[in-house]
Amino acid sequence: MRQGWRWFGPEAPVTLDEVRQTGATNIVSSLHQVPIGRAWTEREVRERQSLIETTPADRSPLIWSVVESIPIPDAVKRKGGEAKAEIEAWIASLEAVAACGIPIVCYNFMPVVDWTRTDLDFVTPTGATAMRFDHERFAAFDLFILERPDAAHHYSDEDRKRARVVYEAMSDDEIADITRIITSALPGSTTEPLTIPAFREKLVAYSGIDATRLRRHLVEFLEAVTPAAEARGVKLTLHPDDPPRSLFGLPRIASTGEDYAALFDAVPSAANGMCYCTGSLGVRADNDLPAIARRFASRIHFAHLRATTREGDGRTFHESAHLEGDADMVAVLRELVAEDRRRSAEDTIVFRSDHGHRMLDDLDKTVTPGYPAIGRMRGLAELRGILHALGAPPS
């Protein structure tokens, strides 16, 4: 298995030399500066690749092996195969990536909002901070800040009462803060930042799109793009929904093992793969993480390894340290190692630690939310230790 690190580009607070110091060897990156829907050019991809892979004589080499992500435009999620121009642009971006020899592309199919949290600096018992999804704060936003017209139908009487108490206790600054966190697109997001009015308009645009229809649109997208990926030796890896359940009444279709099975049955191409994220899938208590890894082992080309801790009834959760929380990381890695040993060196799984705690010196620095250096380095070191114990030291 290969040690990856998500790097947000030359403006990121974490430098490439700092990435080297973590022990990572493979870079996970994207062209975040390119507007969603505009085709990437080979020149743009090569410029980023050169920045990553041109190694000074006294430095360890880095390889850009995963693109995370080529964003899928909203029109594709709403219209499926009818969004021909947007799909053609996406294929052009894929072709640019393939021309540069980058073998793995990650993407997601979450409508309107990408990965979602309500708190970016929840204080843990150690004094480090973590990201958190607080169900009551989310409901307060949905019901009383966004004022989604049919929101009340998606919450119980008790949920609505608790959400009102939470909302009425919020200061103006807290309302502005949670609005910014939810609507402004978190780092690496593949959706556009939104104002409250624009958010409402987006939701209206999804009226009538249920899970069956959204899945059909994803299948139509995959039917269009997987031939290009397969012909060029690129593996497409679908990231799970985060959190893996409906938000704002919108369907989500990559939340369970059965969701993935339906997509692999519909589009059996070897290029149609999975980004196996223990953090996203692990939020649901009914997702058996080792079993999912075993079931779809041959489809896993990229892994996000992190842990979350479910709170209360499980609808609230926070990011935990990588070897804590609800994920049995040893069991997960045992499954991934078993699969990796069946593969050639060129096809080995790339993994990265994810969503580390903000801790030590990073508490006093400007960091990318969810992606501080020290917390992720701790996580990578812990994962590396498990792999050594399993007799499979990573490269």
Is 371 a known active-site residue?
Answer: yes
Which residues lie closer than 8 Å to 218 by C-beta, 6 or more apart?
A: 77, 80, 109, 253, 263
Cβ neighbours of residue 198 under 8 Å, at least 6 residues apart? none
57 burial class (0-12, 13-18, 19+ CB within 10 angstroms)?
Answer: exposed
Active site residue 155: no
- Say which DSSP state 136 is in: H
| Active-site residue, 32 included | no
Known active-site residue 275:
no
Catalytic residue among 114, 259, 354, 362: 354
Active-site residue flag, 322: no
Check 135, 217, 304, 318 and give the catalytic one: 304
Cβ atoms of 322 and 329 closer than 8 Å: yes
Q: Which one of 277, 301, 340, 362 is the catalytic residue?
A: 277
H or E element: which one contains 230? helix 211-231
Q: Do 121 and 174 form a contact (C-beta atoms < 8 A)?
A: no
H or E stretch covering 129? strand 129-133
Across the beta sheet with 316-320, what order do the strands follow? 119-123, 129-133, 316-320, 307-311
Look up 355 and say whether it is catalytic.
Answer: yes
Phi and psi at residue 240, to the nearest 5°? -65, 160
Identify the DSSP state of 206.
T
Catalytic residue among 239, 301, 318, 322: 239
The set of catalytic residues is: 239, 277, 304, 354-355, 371
